[in-house]
Amino acid sequence: GDLKPRPTYPVGFLGADLEWNTAGAGYRITRVLDGEVNEFGRKSPLLQPGLNIQAGDALLGIDGTRLTGKLPPEALLLNKAKCEVELEIQHQDSSVQNYTVRTLSDESELRYRDWVESNRHAVHGRSDNKVGYLHIPDMGAAGYSEFFRNYLRECDRDGLIIDARYNAGGHVSQLILSFLSRQIIGFDSSRWVGVEPYPNHAPAGPMVVLTNQYAGSDGDIFPHAFKLMGLGPVIGKRTWGGVIGIWPRNFLADGGITTQPEFSFWFKDVGWGVENYGTDPDVELDIAPQDYLAGKDPQLDFGIAEVLRQIAEKPPLRPAFSNRPDRSVNGVTAGTRTAGDESK
């Protein structure tokens, strides 16, 4: 338009939780976000090779300026996104050392990855590694990539939790459901690869979907279709309820763009009823403010318990090869050599 954009002063981030150290100086590091250590932007700058910064250490100053209760780290990191800064760190043995790190411009990807991996670790630990976990952030390219990347390493466990809370929508729910709807009817036994289920990449056992009021569009469609296909229960809160789609493709001469409603959705059970309503979970369960404060997740807790219950009632199909037929010829297994055989 006619107005020039205002200047911005982005804050740099360190990928850690800090609190004012009332018993000493500086800000105590309460947690360094693990994130994903093999990708910049999804790991804390404090985890760079050669650094020795851990939870329990204290951040005393930044770029030579001491921190105080009225001068927090954010004030000294103003306009220093993606910049190298010098941190003065007091270790737990009282030694002080300076480190140079490159800040992040945004912690959302890092905190998202930390949340997902924390959930996966909790599910694995509390189920004795029987139950898998994955989260689908949206139904676009990023969401499908996130699903496929984690589904391949989780689907062969005895059960699976598909977390579709906060799903921002898109258009790939059909692709995801094509995997989740596969049913194992046999196994392929290979000499070198081992045993693979047939069809390949089919979920090994029972599944549940978690959803909430912040999931919409294709994030509405996915849990409703999951229920309608009889793949398992949906746990959480009623979804957002917006399946009228737009396509931002009509550009104007002044650089603007217009959108018009172009897509709608009909289901055989509720007709057009998902729009403006959403889909109801089979088990309605909220996360109260006190749960957030205490770091609890009742929806995930119920999901773990429900999958374990289903596993106990109906264990997943596993191959029984005790009656394998003898395919040898005259006592010699095909592909082996006998003594004196010099053929090449």
Tens of pLDDT, residue by residue, the chain (344 residues): 577 888 899 999 999 999 998 887 899 999 999 877 666 667 899 998 889 999 999 999 999 999 999 999 999 999 999 999 999 999 999 999 999 999 999 999 999 999 999 999 999 999 999 999 999 999 999 999 999 999 999 999 999 999 999 999 999 999 999 999 999 999 998 888 888 999 999 999 999 999 999 999 999 999 999 999 999 999 999 999 999 988 888 899 988 999 889 989 999 999 999 999 999 999 999 999 999 999 999 999 999 999 999 999 999 998 888 777 777 777 665 555 555 555 44
Alpha-carbon distance 73 to 11, whole Å?
A: 10
For domain 16-102, which architecture applies?
Answer: Roll (2.30)
Query: What are the sequence ranges of the domains in the chain?
Result: 16-102, 108-313
The pTM for the full model equals 0.87
Alpha-carbon distance 12 to 75, whole Å?
A: 10
- Tokens read off for 206: 């029972």
Three-class SS state of 104: strand
Q: In degrees to the nearest 10, what's the CA dihedral of 220, 222, 226, 232?
A: -80
CATH number of 108-313: 3.90.226.10
